[in-house]
């Protein structure tokens, strides 16, 4: 098992900072197009629905417009959400350097870095039930299964950040999993090695599944 900073002190999973920098730049280029595109669609859709209702000369114009144009506020809301996400990303990345470490495993628990989030996430072992390792070429992922009420676990921090909530998915079984993306890992992700690490530092409480 590969350790850093001394024997049996911690285990780290590292990513390639250069790849992360390129991903950041790509997102900052494409997200404005998506947000503006959604906004334009909502305006065009609203105008088209209004024109159709007036052209048909239906009674109760306002009611018909509401019935036909109900998708418009959904698109507007999504556009506003995308602009909010983009603004937060710009603010975060302007102040936050790229971390080469995605996950740090210690006796205390898991330190997890979500690149889009301003602050790292810390999960004491009581807040974690298992870890999954997904290896897919140059982009791999670690999925940390959270115990019920993980955010309220003493010592846990960072789970309430919007970016972390977006990176957390609930399975059909009701299990919440925090997804950590590992771009071009500096060392190939080894399921057996990570299982050995989390099992060792959690005293057997948490394993890879």
Contact of 102 with 117, CB cutoff 8 Å: no
Residue 20, CA distances (Å) to 11, 13, 31, 190, 194 in order: 21, 14, 16, 21, 22
77 and 126 part of one domain: no
Whether residues 65 and 118 fall in one domain: no
Domain contains 6: no
Same-domain status, 177 and 137: yes
Q: Looking at 50, 69, 95, which one is the last position of a domain?
A: 95
| Both structure tokens of 76 | 């507007």
- Cβ(203)–Cβ(109) under 8 Å? no
Boundary (domain end) residue, out of 95, 117, 152: 95
Indicate whether 42 and 132 sit together in one domain: no
Domain region containing 184: 11-16+100-208
Cα–Cα distance measured from residue 121 to residue 144, given in angstroms and rounded to the nearest whole number: 11
Q: Are residues 91 and 115 in the same domain?
A: no
For residue 74, give every residue at least 6 positions away whose Cβ sits within 8 Å of its Cβ, in sequence order, or none.
Answer: none
CA distance 103 to 13: 5
pLDDT in tens, the chain (209 residues): 445 544 468 999 999 999 999 999 999 999 899 988 888 887 777 776 666 666 655 554 555 455 556 677 787 888 888 999 999 999 999 999 999 999 999 999 999 999 999 999 999 999 999 999 998 878 899 999 999 999 999 999 999 999 999 999 998 888 999 999 998 887 888 899 999 999 999 999 999 98
The number of distinct structural domains making up the chain is 2
> Considering the entire predicted model, what is its pTM?
0.80
Note whether residue 2 is domain-resident.
Answer: no
């Amino acid at each position: 098992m590969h350790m850093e900073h001394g024997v049996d002190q911690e285990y780290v999973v590292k990513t390639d900072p250069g790849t992360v920098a390129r991903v950041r730049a790509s997102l900052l280029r494409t997200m404005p197009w998506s947000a503006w595109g959604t906004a334009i669609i909502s305006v065009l859709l609203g105008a088209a629905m209004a024109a159709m209702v007036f052209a048909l000369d239906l009674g109760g114009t306002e009611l018909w417009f509401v019935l036909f144009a109900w998708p418009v506020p959904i698109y507007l809301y999504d556009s506003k959400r995308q602009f909010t996400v983009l603004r937060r990303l710009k603010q975060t990345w302007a102040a936050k350097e790229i971390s080469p470490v995605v996950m740090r495993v210690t006796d205390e628990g898991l330190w997890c870095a979500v690149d889009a989030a301003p602050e790292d996430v810390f999960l004491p072992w009581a807040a974690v039930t298992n870890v999954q390792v997904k290896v897919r070429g140059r982009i791999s992922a670690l999925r940390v299964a959270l115990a019920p009420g993980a955010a309220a676990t003493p010592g846990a921090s960072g789970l309430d950040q919007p970016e972390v909530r977006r990176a957390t998915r609930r399975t059909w079984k009701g299990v919440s999993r925090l997804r950590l993306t590992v771009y071009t890992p500096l060392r190939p992700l080894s399921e057996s090695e990570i299982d050995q690490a989390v099992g060792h530092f959690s005293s057997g409480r948490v394993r890879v599944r």
